[in-house]
Structure 1
Amino acid sequence: MNMSKLKISVTSAVALGVAGLTYVVLQKLKTKTAADALNYLTIEVIGSEKECEQAVAKIRRKCSEQGAIGFDCEWVTEQGRRQPIALLQLSTHDGYCALIRLNLIKSIPKTLQELLEDNSIYKVGVAPKDDARYLAQDYGIYMQGTLDIRHLVLLCGYQDGGLAAQSKSLLGIILDKTWRIRCSDWAAEVLSESQVKYAAADAHVAIKIFVKLINHYNKRGISLFGAYGRNNHWKDLNICKRYVDVPYRSKKNDKPSDKSNRTKDAKPVKETECKRYPHATRSKPLYHNCFLEAPDGELLCTCDNQKAMWYVVKELADVVSKEPLKVRLRFEPAGRSVGDVGRYYQLTKENKCVVCGAHDSYIRKNVVPREYRKYFPEIMKEHSSHDVVLLCVSCHQLSNMLDRTLRERLAEQCAAPLASHGHSRVTEDVDCKKIRSAARALLYQARKHVLPEARRAELEAVILQHYLQHDVITEELLKEAAEIQVVFENEDYESHGHKVMEHYMNNGGVLRLEELWREHFLSTMQPRYMPELWSVKHNEERLTVRLKEGRLSDEDKKLLGLSI
């Protein structure tokens, strides 16, 4: 090699080494341990109801400008089983941290419950939805307003990861996540200094990351909360609303997040238009706004072309006009429009998303899900079109995700477990599944001579353990084992929807359940283009008219929960 080239190569290598070392040093200078970076925190350990009420009042005052607090929970796991939540951590953006020792407080103060169930204050963290579920199970608190910061992390183009990874990359703060602290006794009589600092850091770092991401998204270069002040105008932005109470799903495996299994290497994902329901979008308008009249010409309702022409084809009605299509019945209908309830069905309706107003594509949304409505009494199933609205693809997906929150609440309230929580119509026998897999492997893989003798013997032992009357493996036995039943009906199964219905039949009436779902849709989606006269109490008003006319029995009245 030419000596001059060798000198250049050595010089380049040294330069690269120095540059690399400089980069590492600078990176270390940029990061600080939580103990150094968060030495300004004011931490209060709360062990009584009175202290808890004072802390909640302080948190409400301090978070009024942000409308958000950092949130986390700690518990003890014994022999693989989670014990009730022992510590609840809440932190405001200015550095106040309340560590509420739920295991020491005899009863949860109402002020704390109201704070946690207040959906106008975001509880931000990593997997807060999981902690919310545990709070419901352990203390009957149905927390609302949870927001997983990982939704915003991906939205802003950063890498997926747990709280420690986000703290280091976004704030330059290194959290102590050693197992000795994470798995320590959170129900101890006195918490150690390390436990206190660890718990406070987790909650405070969450709110700091949240604020940083919001400011990054808006690209304002100044404190978002300082800019907007107490009016909280930023809360009207879809940036936060779309993710409230929505469980985080890893983009790698599309499975619900879990605090004990966080993905740190997912690639940044850009915000894209939802393509989950392309097959379900309507190619034709839902509302044709044809007019159906009584024999004397009084308008009964609007309907679609097909329904209107059905009466004509059956010689039950005549066409009065074609543009717009107007059909007049030849017989007296069972009832006529009364008040606003009746006028709702007379109004024309627009073919657009009731939330955002999009016209290009939309999907039918059942405000009261079918899994509950199918168990409604027949008198409530009439005029069900009131609860069918149009949503664009994105709003439909978001609405379905937010419905999960109310389903989980109903599951707890009505002792009606969801199928996704291990309560399903069928169960799979693990042992039978092993036998079937072993038999199929011996039948199909052995023919190809790819099974080692040791593996063959292992699989044969699995089968013979079940078929004790056989001493040797035959092809007939393998064929029988290969078709062994694996899935069995769950004799204890009762559908979630049916159990919820039974609960409301005996507690307040079915109308309350229907109204609950309508209120949920309005509060979570905040639709701006709902049909005129659409009402939460639509069925109650309609059936009250029937009750006054003597067309409902006392049994119906009790079942529905009508008060008159």
Structure 2
Amino acid sequence: MSDRQNKFLDISTIGFTFIVGFISIKLYRKLLRKKAKDSFKNLIVEMAEDEYSCWDIVTKLLEKCKQHNALGFDCEWVTKGSKRQPVSLLQLSTLDGYCGLFRLCKMKCIPEALKALLEDENIFKLGVVPADDAKYLANDYGVCVKSTLDIRHFVELCGYIPSGLATLSDSLLGVTLDKDWRIRCSDWSAEYLTQRQVMYAATDAHVAIKIFDKLINKLYYTGGPLYWLRIYKFDGFVRDMCWKYTDVSYKAKTKTKNKELGTGTKLKDPNDKLVLKKKQCSTSIAKPLYHNCYLEAPDGELLCTLEDKKAMWYVLKELADVIKESPLTVRLRFEPSGRSVGDVGRYYQAVKENKCVVCGESNFYTRKNVVPKEYRKHFPELMKEHSSHDVLLLCLVCHQRSNMYDQAVRQRLSRMCDAPLTASDYTQYTEDADCKKIRSAARALLYQSQKHVLPEDRRRELEEKLLAHYPQHSHITKELLEEAVQISVLVENPEYEAHGSKVVEYFMQHEGLLKLEELWREHFLSCMRPRYLPQLWSIKHNEERMRVRLAEGRLSEEDMKLIGMRP
């Protein structure tokens, strides 16, 4: 056989092998898609409408999610007019196809078993925009859903274009979801749900965990083409990866195209998302909170550490002298009202690190008010002093997570203190309809151009309306129109009372403000589990500080009653 024939056979063999391989891959992918579709037909769906059935389903969910510590998570509700009603249905699904549907609209409150599951930070709740569902559950039922995880973070990490659940399901799993508006907008609080509603709800929750499973396997097993045949476990690598995005809202980038999803090329560097966020926000948080300069009493005793601007303010006002340049140390020329005593004093004397108190991030951070400003601003001056104890540093991710957890406490305080959060029908200011019409009429008359001259009848009507509102004027002038354009259309609502103000008033009359402070500090510790708190940071900090004042004779009985401190 000639060399030319051998060469032709080699090329033919390679071509045949390529074609067979290509066809095999196509057939295999088609088989996988068929298998995925079939798996959604075999879902086991159980519904809970009371506490007993709820406990039974939660027990099964906990048993079935042991290996992966993750659940598909979704919620449904009814919208009337343009106003969202309380969540009607909660869906949770395990990877093996067990789906629990909880009809919250038929329960007076969320049962303890379900509440414990939702608040278990060791079980990830997966979905697209799950943080919004968690916020609604907090607003409607006062449950603080922990460890929500938006699967779009992992979609992006794998190089795909993040999109809606239906698009991801079709592209990654080959499963087309039923997204007919008639079913999406159906009555989820009806006496009985239809079979189509049940399957829609169960599938939405299940598809989230199926997508997550595929993406994690792809990220976890990158060493060979058969990664999908292996089963991952939630070891340290996966858990750390998930924790990085837990309770962190996903913000989409500018759309690019992706071939693997059938829409273009992969993302260039999907791992740069958090870095990009940090760079965008770095200008406002680049400066350190703690400068660790020293302030001394006239006799040289250390009073506290403080920032450099405050230290130099004392010097410029000729109230102190610079004793040392590095670290900057200034000594007061007058006797301060109090000295550093006990652990409270030592807390203010201690050097503090500029890093996130939760995860230790030291490059990008922002201030976190453990006791939110909306409450502290209503405190008496006595309790506003030395409030820096409750200002801690958090990185951007931890700060976002902490703010989300705070919402559940606000809802709890709202119910406890009868202090509604701001709503459309309970606002500080309302619009005066008559003034709004006057302003609109003045604008129309003042800004009409030659091309858009008002009809004579319309112009006369608007002028009469203005003159009726301004009876002291006999005719329309430019000055009058300019005055009418600036008229205020907002009037203060006399029945409005700020949520923070009502909460503070309630605690002053009942449990004392120290209890309100401690409630927020305990919440921060339990939710965020900070590992790098400043030394001597304490839940009882203000109580200890007040006892020092009491011992020095600087605290009255009235003050003690106000803050809720016993002798």
Could you say which residue in structure 2 is the equivalent of 1:508? 511
CA distance in 2, matches of 1:110, 1:156: 37
CA distance in 1, matches of 2:161, 2:460: 47
Could you say which residue in structure 1 is the equivalent of 2:175? 173
Kindly provide the amino acid, as one letter, of the partner of residue 304 in structure 2: C
Quote the sequence identity (%): 55
* Contact 2:144/2:408 (<8 A) preserved: no
- TM-superposition CA deviations, 1:431-482 (whole Å, max 9, x none): 75566456434533432x146x7xx589759847955959xx9665765654
Answer yes or no: is 1:341 the counterpart of 2:344: yes
Cα distance change on mapping 1:309 and 1:524 into 2, 3 Å: same
* Contact 2:291/2:308 (<8 A) preserved: no
CA distance in 2, matches of 1:212, 1:164: 16
Q: CA deviation at 1:55?
A: 1.1
Secondary structure of 1:38 counterpart: helix
Cα distance change on mapping 1:500 and 1:122 into 2, 3 Å: farther
CA distance in 2, matches of 1:80, 1:53: 34
CA distance in 2, matches of 1:365, 1:41: 44
Q: CA deviation at 1:275?
A: 4.4
Kindly provide the amino acid, as one letter, of the partner of residue 68 in structure 1: A
- TM-superposition CA deviations, 1:486-537 (whole Å, max 9, x none): 3333333323322232233244322233234334444555544332222233
* Contact 1:365/1:389 (<8 A) preserved: yes
Answer yes or no: is 1:542 the counterpart of 2:553: no
Kindly provide the amino acid, as one letter, of the partner of residue 54 in structure 1: D
Could you say which residue in structure 2 is the equivalent of 1:377? 380
Could you say which residue in structure 2 is the equivalent of 1:286? 290
* Contact 2:297/2:335 (<8 A) preserved: no
Could you say which residue in structure 2 is the equivalent of 1:487? 490
Superposed counterparts of 1:235-274, under 5 Å: 235-237=239-241, 239-244=242-247, 246=248, 271=273, 272-274=276-278
Given the alignment, which residue of 128, 131, 155 partners 2:130? 128
Superposed counterparts of 1:59-70, under 5 Å: 59-70=61-72
Cα distance change on mapping 1:292 and 1:218 into 2, 3 Å: farther
Q: CA deviation at 1:167?
A: 1.7
Q: CA deviation at 1:46?
A: 2.3
Secondary structure of 1:36 counterpart: helix
Kindly provide the amino acid, as one letter, of the partner of residue 90 in structure 2: L
Q: CA deviation at 1:558?
A: 3.2
Cα distance change on mapping 1:73 and 1:435 into 2, 3 Å: same
Secondary structure of 1:345 counterpart: helix
Could you say which residue in structure 2 is the equivalent of 1:110? 112
* Contact 1:275/1:393 (<8 A) preserved: no
* Contact 1:37/1:173 (<8 A) preserved: no
CA distance in 1, matches of 2:219, 2:412: 32
Cα distance change on mapping 1:434 and 1:332 into 2, 3 Å: closer
CA distance in 1, matches of 2:170, 2:330: 69
- TM-superposition CA deviations, 1:238-276 (whole Å, max 9, x none): x544441x55566689xxxxxxxxxx99x9786123345
Superposition CA RMSD, Å: 4.4
Q: CA deviation at 1:398?
A: 6.1
CA distance in 2, matches of 1:106, 1:157: 44
CA distance in 1, matches of 2:229, 2:531: 26
Kindly provide the amino acid, as one letter, of the partner of residue 64 in structure 2: K
* Contact 1:87/1:101 (<8 A) preserved: yes
Could you say which residue in structure 2 is the equivalent of 1:499? 502
- TM-superposition CA deviations, 1:327-362 (whole Å, max 9, x none): 555655433333322211222223444455555565
Q: CA deviation at 1:97?
A: 0.8
Could you say which residue in structure 1 is the equivalent of 2:8? none
Could you say which residue in structure 2 is the equivalent of 1:21? none
Q: CA deviation at 1:201?
A: 0.8
Kindly provide the amino acid, as one letter, of the partner of residue 537 in structure 1: K
* Contact 2:220/2:238 (<8 A) preserved: no
Q: CA deviation at 1:59?
A: 1.3
Cα distance change on mapping 1:462 and 1:552 into 2, 3 Å: farther
Q: CA deviation at 1:53?
A: 0.9
Superposed counterparts of 1:347-496, under 5 Å: 347-357=350-360, 359=362, 363-391=366-394, 403=406, 406-407=409-410, 410-411=413-414, 413-419=416-422, 423-429=426-432, 432-433=435-436, 436-437=439-440, 439-447=442-450, 449-450=451-452, 460=459, 463=462, 482-496=485-499
Q: CA deviation at 1:370?
A: 2.7
Cα distance change on mapping 1:459 and 1:49 into 2, 3 Å: farther
Cα distance change on mapping 1:363 and 1:142 into 2, 3 Å: closer
Give TM-score, length-normalised by structure 1: 0.75
- Where does the alignment leave 5 or more consecutive residues of structure 2 unmatched? 1-25, 256-262, 470-474
Give TM-score, length-normalised by structure 2: 0.75
Q: Which moved more, 1:45-54 or 1:400-409?
A: 400-409
Kindly provide the amino acid, as one letter, of the partner of residue 509 in structure 1: G
- TM-superposition CA deviations, 1:372-416 (whole Å, max 9, x none): 222222222222222233455666566556655654554455444
- TM-superposition CA deviations, 1:259-308 (whole Å, max 9, x none): xxxxx99x97861233454543355773143252462x443323345555
**Paired residue total:** 521
Kindly provide the amino acid, as one letter, of the partner of residue 378 in structure 1: E
CA distance in 1, matches of 2:145, 2:460: 51
* Contact 1:289/1:349 (<8 A) preserved: no
CA distance in 2, matches of 1:538, 1:131: 35
- Where does the alignment leave 5 or more consecutive residues of structure 1 unmatched? 1-23, 254-263
